[in-house]
Amino acid sequence: MAKRGHSEEEILRLLREAESGDSVVEVCREHGIRQQTFYLWKQKHARLGLSELRELRELREEKSKLKRLVADGPEPGPARAAGDRRNKVVRPRARRQLAEWAYQVYHLSP
């Protein structure tokens, strides 16, 4: 099973260690990361402080939640009343009810 990853605090601590005078090779060897990973973290996180990284993480989590909400989409009225049957075939009567509902909601003319 793959490791989940390093927290923002760990990443910043590693970057600060390398800035304080330790060589990048030593820091990477001590913590078991590749040099490419270190430089990627440095590129992404070096100019950010801990508070900015935490705020960035919270914004990313909120963004993913909003994406999931948008992906689910609004549930149409009559279909929602019948239950969550997205994979089932819509019968003609239900299709007619959905069309009437859409015309009413979106002010379309039939």
**What's the pLDDT tens digit per position in 49-89?**
778 878 888 888 999 888 888 777 665 555 555 555 556 67
Measured distance CA(76)–CA(95) in Å, rounded: 11
How many domains are there within the chain? 2
- Do both 66 and 15 map to the same domain? yes
pTM above 0.85, yes or no: no
Is 3 a member of any domain?
A: no
**What per-residue confidence (pLDDT) applies to 39?**
92
Is 55 a member of any domain?
A: yes
Is 2 a member of any domain?
A: no
Measured distance CA(18)–CA(16) in Å, rounded: 5
Residue 102: domain span? 77-106
pLDDT at position 19 over 70: yes
- Do both 22 and 55 map to the same domain? yes
- Indicate the average pLDDT of the chain: 79
